[in-house]
Amino acid sequence: MIASRARGSLVMVDTREVSVYAGTTVFTRMPGGYRAGSLREIAQRVGMSEAGLLHHFKNKSTLLLAVLDHRDEQSRQIVNFDDADGVETLRALVKLARYNASIPGVIELFCTLSAEATSPSHPAHEYFLRRYEYVRESITVAFRRIADEGRLIREIDPYRAAVATTAMMDGLQVQWLLDPTSTDMADALAEFFRGYVRGYDLDALEQLLDARAAGSLVNGEGAGAVASL
Amino acid sequence: MIASRARGSLVMVDTREVSVYAGTTVFTRMPGGYRAGSLREIAQRVGMSEAGLLHHFKNKSTLLLAVLDHRDEQSRQIVNFDDADGVETLRALVKLARYNASIPGVIELFCTLSAEATSPSHPAHEYFLRRYEYVRESITVAFRRIADEGRLIREIDPYRAAVATTAMMDGLQVQWLLDPTSTDMADALAEFFRGYVRGYDLDALEQLLDARAAGSLVNGEGAGAVASL
DNA sequence: GTCTATAGGAGGATAGAC
DNA sequence: GTCTATCCTCCTATAGAC
């Protein structure tokens, strides 16, 4: 627990929670992100010593995982794969891509980290393995439903389509981060889906969802979390 | 210059050149790659002191750029965008993807580095900016030719198709590095092209190119360089 | 061109007091 | 739960001799 003054009144704050926020800030800051971010700085932001911080997280990797888990928890409140189905899921992903363009720092963390975590010894390796499996599985289900509705433009294996979709999202992020003028991630993704799904563009429906999504994203507590998808 | 014994005879080797090789080895080794790789180890591999190494490359970043430039020089000898045209270029990319699957270390370097280099202050930022522009431009030309031949399946802007292609290649790499069983990069890319190009699968032609490409890749001096594409 | 020596710093982590 | 003190490792880079 830490005592801090907010809006004039004394507030007790959970140290662990604050640390996760501070960790997020530091790890999402470029250049360097996780690797360059130091426990020293995080401790300083929390207003505590390094040793104090390490009492809660036994080392730097553990704190990283806590940060990632925290984002996931929030993501699930915003884009829930289990709720949506079929085309609706794809639309949500486009919406997500559009939103992501407003939080470059977080995107950069996930982009860099997922590349780094590629090696089995990286502290977040297991995390990303599970995450990609989950995302692919969810998108696979979406494509399977679209296929069942007979809306698939050409013969494709739902799983392969999911891999391609995931790849497209990741790849667009790299180009966009490097040069934001090079591509509009959301438009590019929508274009991609148009190649697979018959009648992907049902404008009225899309706009309805647009409005709904905009509302929830703006109000959503930790909307930034969506990036991790 | 450095004296070394190879095949029993005394050979003089250009130190700079050897340093670039050593740098490649160290920077492509995971985990950590460029960031984790130290001048200390590179110097040790070359068989000289850190100070000696820094005589040739004024700092670590400079050495990195030398490594990247060296790879590019070799790439150009293997996949030359200017030679191929239209569908042939796309096929070359698929071939490339297949080859890349045999050199995970190099792919990992480029994958990680392109994510890191996303921030303007990264030493390789300019390098990747130029590289992506070049690649997109080249692929744009290919799609433009395909469009001129009337082989485009649906209306798409050649530039957008190039962005999507680049994204697909990058994104597939991330998933593949994380879990090689998750996807076959080359197959996935070919599938992607099938959605754009009429008659992409002309088996005879493909096999002809297959053979030709296999030959040049196996014999090519620094075939690994292709990864940078 | 290459080496020795060393400056100068950052970062992760631990021990033990309070 | 938190702090002080401290250790140890590792790095980039420079100065100056050979």
**How far is the C-alpha of A172 from the C-alpha of B191, rounded, in Å?**
18
pLDDT at position B205, please? Answer: 61
Interfacial B residues in 184-203 facing A (CB < 8 Å)? 188, 191-192, 195-196
- Among A131, A170, A200, most B C-beta atoms within 10 A, so best to mutate, is A170
CA B185 to centroid of chain Cα atoms: 14
- In angstroms, how far is D4 C1' from A66 CA? 27
**pLDDT surpassing 90 at residue B194:** yes
Q: pLDDT-based confidence at B172, cuts 50/70/90?
A: very high
CATH number of B1-63: 1.10.10.60
Q: A14 Cβ partners below 8 Å, 6+ apart?
A: A1
| Ranges A207-221, B99-113, B197-211, most confident | B99-113
Q: Hunting for tokens 């730097």 — which residue is that?
A: A60
| Low-confidence spans in chain A with pLDDT less than 50 | 218-228
Interfacial B residues in 98-127 facing A (CB < 8 Å)? 108, 111-112, 114-119, 121-122, 125
- How far lies A208's CA from each of A88, A99, A115, B79, in Å? 12, 16, 36, 47
Q: Which of A82, A98, A37 is nearest to A64 (CA)?
A: A37
Chain B residues 132 to 151 with C-beta below 7 Å from nucleic strand D: none
Q: Is the peptide bond before A120 cis (omega within 30 degrees of 0)?
A: no
Domain range list for chain A: 1-63, 79-220
Q: pLDDT-based confidence at B41, cuts 50/70/90?
A: confident
Beta bridge partners of A197: A152
**How far is the C-alpha of B112 from the C-alpha of B34, rounded, in Å?**
9
Which pair of tokens denotes residue B173? 């790499």
Q: Residue B161: its chain A contacts at CB < 8 A?
A: none
Burial (Cβ within 10 Å: 0-12, 13-18, ≥19) of residue B82: exposed
pLDDT at position A120, please? Answer: 85
**B129 in contact with A, Cβ within 8 Å:** yes
**How far is the C-alpha of B89 from the C-alpha of B183, rounded, in Å?**
22
CATH number of B79-220: 1.10.357
Which nucleotide does the CA of A54 lie closest to, via C1'?
C13
Q: Is the peptide bond before A31 cis (omega within 30 degrees of 0)?
A: yes
pLDDT at position A213, please? Answer: 67
pLDDT at position A9, please? Answer: 55
pLDDT at position B216, please? Answer: 53
3-state SS assignment for residue A222: coil
Which pair of tokens denotes residue A134? 């989950």
Q: pLDDT-based confidence at B220, cuts 50/70/90?
A: very low
Beta bridge partners of A173: none
Residue from the list A30, A108, A115 with its beta carbon closest to the beta carbon of B174: A115
Q: Which of B139, B196, B206, B195 is nearest to B167 (CA)?
A: B139
- In angstroms, how far is C3 C1' from B6 CA? 24
Which pair of tokens denotes residue B83? 């030679």
Residue type, B181: T
Q: Which of B36, B178, B124 is nearest to A170 (CA)?
A: B178
Question: Strand D positions with any atom < 7 Å from protein CB?
Answer: 1-5, 10-16
Please name the helix (run of DSSP H) or strand (run of DSSP E) that holds residue B2, with its range, or none.
strand B2-6
3-state SS assignment for residue B3: strand
Please name the helix (run of DSSP H) or strand (run of DSSP E) that holds residue B11, with its range, or none.
strand B9-13
Chain A residues 18 to 57 with C-beta below 7 Å from nucleic strand C: 37-41, 50-51, 54
Q: Which of A71, A61, A86, A70 is nearest to A16 (CA)?
A: A70
Q: Residue B111: its chain A contacts at CB < 8 A?
A: 115, 118
3-state SS assignment for residue A3: strand
Task: Specify which residue's alpha carbon is closest to the C1' of nucleotide D10.
Answer: B38
Is the Cβ–Cβ distance between B31 and B77 less than 8 Å? no
